[in-house]
Amino acid sequence: MGYRTLLRDHRGLLAIACLAMFTSSLGQSFFIGLFQVPISERLGLSAGQFGTAYALVTIAAGFAVLRVGPSIDWVAPRRFALLVLSGLACGIALLTTSPWWWLGLLGLGITRFCGQGMMTHLGNTLAGREFSSLRGRALGLVSMGLMVGEMSLPPLMAGLLIWLGWRELWWLFALILACAWLPLLLWGPWPRAPRARPARGERGNGPHPFRESRFWRLLPLLMILPVTMTGLFIYQARLTQDLGSTLGVYALALTGMGLAKLPGALLGGRWVDRLGPVRLARLYLLPFALALVIAITVGGHPGVWALMVGGGLAMGAQEPIATSVLIRNWGIEHLGTVRATLSACMVFATGIAPAVLGIALDLGASFVAILVGMLVFLASGWWLAQGVLKELKVAR
């Protein structure tokens, strides 16, 4: 029972979830960042104005995920996917064709909401809900959809920009994705919704993660990578300068990070199934913790490589572990609700973290000091989650 079994017996469902993760690339920061300059010029925004607007629409998208995400617990997944894809198409149309800046920003927000927010929510929820004994492996395989996008799209888009304008490139990519989705929407092995839509008065009977201390004690552990890696991506120039490295080395290390995610996801998924998510939740951040220590004490090119590779290994393993821990806590029936809460928190963090780190840098903090703060944050989040993880291990 392993990856070969999954691919043989469940390739249709895995293809749906994996394509959802790949499609989320349209709303991810790494993809939108490739077109930041032409988008800013079209909307008439400076770099600073674009950054502020991007943070605001990201936070708004987080609130929307929190509101709409739980519906995957009672809306049929095929219909859910069709609605999200329709919204993504509308967002792209507004972003690329609107003559007014405010309407273009609305399109950007819808693209972020449907892409980074709802498409990843769809892929991870399907994989986490429809598999039991091989859940970790399924989540590891599905997460590779986004990894493929992160590794392949930046050089591909950069090459195609030589011949096509940025808007035409968005339209072409959207058309290719539509052709890939069409046969799956028509003939794919779509599961049913796990439960019926609750009555208005019954919706309060489900889980409310924000009201539970368990969620708040787990949240820092699960937020460490989104917060810290976003800071490393956004402030890469200052990072390399303070560590005594170069942007060329950083670019190579970024490729190393993408490659490191692959064994992180595959091994993490396998170990979740064998050892359980609780034990893995205590260990999976170790590569990134060691990377932070190397960057702080050694610096230079080894420090940059350590951060990217260590971060990649941990990021690859996080999704199988995080979703499995959520299921262990709150069960499968309400996974959409709980995952939507976590996804919204992650979206908020990726919107707020650059501003917080930017203020720290403006106040004179060196990036080495910021890395020390990241290490303290990691240790604190790990320590705070130990009580919940111990309870889950005992309750197993």
Question: Each residue of 178-232: pLDDT tens digit?
Answer: 999 999 999 989 988 776 666 665 555 667 888 888 899 999 999 999 888 888 8
**Tokens coding 203:** 């919706």
C-alpha–C-alpha distance, residues 158 and 155, integer Å: 5
Two domains, one topology: 1-191 and 209-396: yes
Res 206: pLDDT: 66
Res 395: pLDDT: 54
Among 331, 87, 375, CA closest to 228: 375
Please compute Rg for the chain using Cα positions.
Answer: 20
Residues of the chain with confidence (pLDDT) below 50: none
Q: CATH topology for 1-191?
A: Growth Hormone; Chain: A; (1.20.1250)
Instruction: Classify residue 199 as exposed, middle or buried by CB count within 10 Å of its CB (0-12, 13-18, 19+).
Output: exposed
Which pairs from 330-336 meet CB under 8 Å and 24+ separation? 330/207, 330/209, 332/128, 332/129, 332/194, 333/73, 333/194, 333/195, 334/70, 334/73, 334/206, 334/207, 335/73, 335/125, 335/128, 335/129, 336/69, 336/70, 336/71, 336/72, 336/73, 336/121, 336/125, 336/129
In this prediction the pTM is: 0.83
Yes or no: say if 380 and 220 are a contact pair by the CB < 8 Å rule. yes
Domain boundaries, the chain: 1-191, 209-396
CATH superfamily to which 209-396 belongs = MFS general substrate transporter like domains (1.20.1250.20)
Among 93, 98, 4, CA closest to 44: 98
Res 287: pLDDT: 94
Res 199: pLDDT: 61
CA distances from 11 to 23, 130, 174, 188 (A): 18, 13, 23, 10
Instruction: Classify residue 148 as exposed, middle or buried by CB count within 10 Å of its CB (0-12, 13-18, 19+).
Output: middle
